Amino acid sequence: MNATTALKSYANVSVQSGVAAADPHKLIAMLYQGALLAIANAKNAILRKDIPAKGTAISKAILIIDEGLKASLDKDVGGELAHNLAALYDYMNNRLLMANMKNDLDALDEVARLLTDLKGAWDSIRPVGAGQAMAQAAPKAEAQLVYGRA
């Protein structure tokens, strides 16, 4: 087994272990992080002129946004906020498709900024200790309504 294969195997085990041990809130944060990493990989691939790697990375980001983040939304319970997030995720995927077709670094940067803002907001509602449970109860309840499993 060469070093690259070993590193990929280790990374897969690390991600799988993290998913198995994560609570629903952490899983959404991991999806945001995975999409951001895929976008960074796509940007690097464009700069290296590695078209297959670019396509793979953008496809991965689209998959995470669509089948991870968007699919996790509970639109029946989350109401307008969940519908707005779904529309934003659709917009991001359209921008990623354009980035793929036109090697558009600005589109990748735009989606990365949007995801970073959403991830920051999501991370800010995570209770870190029992003392903060009361202060964060309302945002946590809203997150449960939007994603249904948070």
What domains does the chain contain, in order, with CATH numbers? 23-126+135-147 (1.20.120.340)
pLDDT for 58: 98
Q: The whole model's pTM is what?
A: 0.76
pLDDT for 104: 98
Residue keyed to tokens 């509970």: 74
Q: How far apart are the first and last CA of the chain?
A: 39
Q: How many CB atoms lie within 10 A of CB 140?
A: 16
pLDDT for 135: 45
pLDDT for 10: 45
pLDDT for 139: 55
Output helix, strand, coil percentages for the chain, rounded to the nearest 5: 85, 0, 15
Low-confidence ranges of the chain (pLDDT < 70): 1-22, 127-146, 148-150
pLDDT for 50: 98
